Chains A and B, each alone.
Chain A
Amino acid sequence: MNKSNLQRSAFQDSIKEAHQFIASRWNKRPRYGVILGTGSGEIADHIVAQEKIPYPDVPHLPESTAIGHKGQFVCGTLADQPVIAMQGRFHLYEGYPVDQSSLPVHIMAAMGVTDLFITNAAGGCQPHWNVGDVMMIHSHVDFMYRSTARMNSKTVHNRPLRRSDLYDRPRIEQAMSHARGEGFQLYRGNYASMLGPNYETRAEYRFLRKIGADAVGMSTVPEVAVAATYGMRIMAMSIITNVANPDQLVETSGHGVVDAGVVAAPKLRSLVENAINNDV
């Protein structure tokens, strides 16, 4: 067996072992998966939890080190549907290899998840946006320089990456309509993913806005890349935790990011529950 086959086999084994461990604690086949980002952890409180599994208990998963992250799988029901949620995620800036950081998405796929909801905290590149606004991601620009495509396209399974419609269009339209009905502001836009962990400089914000980014963050794209190879329907949302106005930039801190997430969490929950309740 050559080296790449060995790596493939080892990675598939780790997916299998992690999946088997979770199945031994919670034996359901959820259609829905949720990844809860920085500051939106409270959305998990609305999941009727049947089982909570801390990441360090799961074989092959590292411990999450980011602030505002609890670091556990929450298994249960949301809007009466079985769901597995990640409370806390693995960021590339924490130093994990890209395949290990997106291992939970592989596990979700193995459990039967076909519809993935992703949330993150992001800096807004549009000066007219407000802290606590939510943006539906309709496309992304990847500045992480850490491709998951090589591994996934050949070595895990053989589905092509669908780049044209990574983010499910009917779900975006449904969410925009729902937000209008509920009376809260919802934007749609492009998400730029950066390695981090430092926040962007003024020059970097100007650059990102110029190339068409509406929000910038340090996550999501690797997870989306993996989920897409399984053909999952993806709905991803950014909480705008600071609005970058490079000509009058104020400091950004991790704790402010967590506060803004608290304001936006009810909107996210409403959007996700609506998507589950009213399948399009």
Chain B
Amino acid sequence: MLDLFDKIQESVEFIKSKWDGVPKAGIILGTGLGPLVQQIDVAVAINYEDIPNFPVSTAPSHQGRLVCGTLNGTPIVAMQGRMHMYEGYPLKEVTLPVRIMKALGAKTLMVSNACGGLNPNYACGDIMLIDDQINLMGDNPLIGINDDRLGVRFPDMSQPYCPKLIDSALTIARKEDIVAHKGVFVAVSGPNLETRAEYRFLRTIGCDVVGMSTVPEVIVAVHEEMNVVGFSVVTDMCLPDALKAADENEIIEIAKSAEPKLTKLIMGLLGQMA
């Protein structure tokens, strides 16, 4: 039952045989946000399928490479493309890369996603620092017998995202003249986008943006006692009374055009960690 620990060791051993760096941060790049890796001083890039126990990303625009190197002077490991629940992966597999990052030495997790904006004060292309989250996926990556070597049975979630990192990121955003908000991210399983009624429901219960990822990874990062900072890039405004059909290509385009802003914020935070 408790095979996760050994799997992590196996994956870490393999990655260490390719790269001897110790990352300070692990970065997960969501839909359309992969180009950030161009800024990385790459030591080695490993395809997911080559890493033992690593799940393989099948989502559109997700490259599926683990990029190891330095970014703005700080050693990091970055996932170019992630795994989603809607691809059919159990959440334990979806979140395994986070545990591997921690085992490699990363004490900070920087996670990003493309999301739908529910807060009418937001606009397409805006970035939201995730202050808090709601899990409506109907599943949890920590279900099963708890391995005390990895974390506690009942993780506290009163502050899943690090307030200091949020404040630092918002400060950098102001300096760079980037529109950045702070709000609540809700995760649903997908893969269909939400109905108008679901958008109204999610807004009513206090959500600012909605997406199909991030929450499982952050639960596991909290379980691993990592510092977490989360960036949601609003790629689609979901205003139920003026809703137009979502276009996947448009979403990816908006994510790509917003990506330089995300890069500035992440590089700024890493610069402070160097």
Give the B-binding residues of A (Cβ under 8 A). Answer: 65-67, 92-95, 145, 195-204, 206-207, 210-211, 249-254, 257
Contact = CB atoms under 8 A, between A and B. Distances in A.
Contacts of A203: 132-134, 184, 186, 206-207
Interface string B128-151: 000011110011101111100000
Interface of B: 132-135, 138-140, 142-146, 152-160, 184, 186, 204-207, 219, 222-223
Contact of A252 (B134, B143, B156): B156
Contacts of B146: 65, 197
A198 B160 CA distance: 11
Contact of B139 (A145, A204, A252): A145
B145 A94 contact: yes
B205 A198 contact: no
A254 B206 CA distance: 27
B213 to A, nearest CB: 16
B185 to A, nearest CB: 8
A197 B91 CA distance: 14
A196 B143 CA distance: 7
B133 A201 contact: yes
Given A201-B160, A203-B133, A95 B154 contact: no
Q: Is the interface of B mostly helix, strand, loop or mixed?
A: loop
Residue from A65, A198, A249 having most chain B Cβ neighbours under 10 A: A198
Q: Is the interface of A mostly helix, strand, loop or mixed?
A: loop
Nearest to B219: A198
A261 to B, nearest CB: 14
Given A95-B143, A201-B158, A206-B205, 11 more contacts: A94-B143, A145-B138, A196-B140, A197-B143, A201-B135, A201-B157, A203-B132, A203-B184, A206-B206, A207-B205, A252-B156
Contacts of A198: 140, 142, 154-157, 219, 222-223
A260 B154 CA distance: 16
Residue from B132, B143, B158, B223 having most chain A Cβ neighbours under 10 A: B158
A210 B206 contact: yes
B242 to A, nearest CB: 24
A56 B205 CA distance: 42
Q: Which 7 A-B pairs have the closest CB atoms?
A: A145-B138, A95-B144, A203-B132, A207-B205, A249-B158, A251-B156, A201-B157
Contact of A202 (B140, B153, B158): B158
B149 to A, nearest CB: 15
Given A145-B139, A197-B155, A210 B132 contact: no
15 contacts: A65-B145, A66-B153, A92-B143, A195-B140, A197-B142, A198-B142, A198-B154, A198-B155, A198-B223, A199-B157, A203-B186, A204-B135, A252-B158, A254-B154, A257-B154
Contacts of A206: 205-206
Nearest to A208: B205
A166 B219 CA distance: 33
Nearest to B138: A145
A198 B154 CA distance: 5
B95 to A, nearest CB: 12
Contacts of A211: 205
A66 to B, nearest CB: 7
Nearest to A63: B145
Residue from B143, B154, B159 having most chain A Cβ neighbours under 10 A: B154
A92 B157 CA distance: 19
A257 B143 CA distance: 19
Nearest to B1: A95
Contacts of B205: 206-207, 210-211
A93 B142 contact: yes
Nearest to A65: B145
A65 to B, nearest CB: 5
Residue from B186, B206, B219 having most chain A Cβ neighbours under 10 A: B206
A93 B143 contact: yes
A66 B219 CA distance: 19
B189 to A, nearest CB: 9
A202 B134 CA distance: 9
A93 B133 contact: no
Contacts of B134: 201, 203-204, 207
Nearest to B202: A207
A95 B153 contact: no
B246 to A, nearest CB: 24
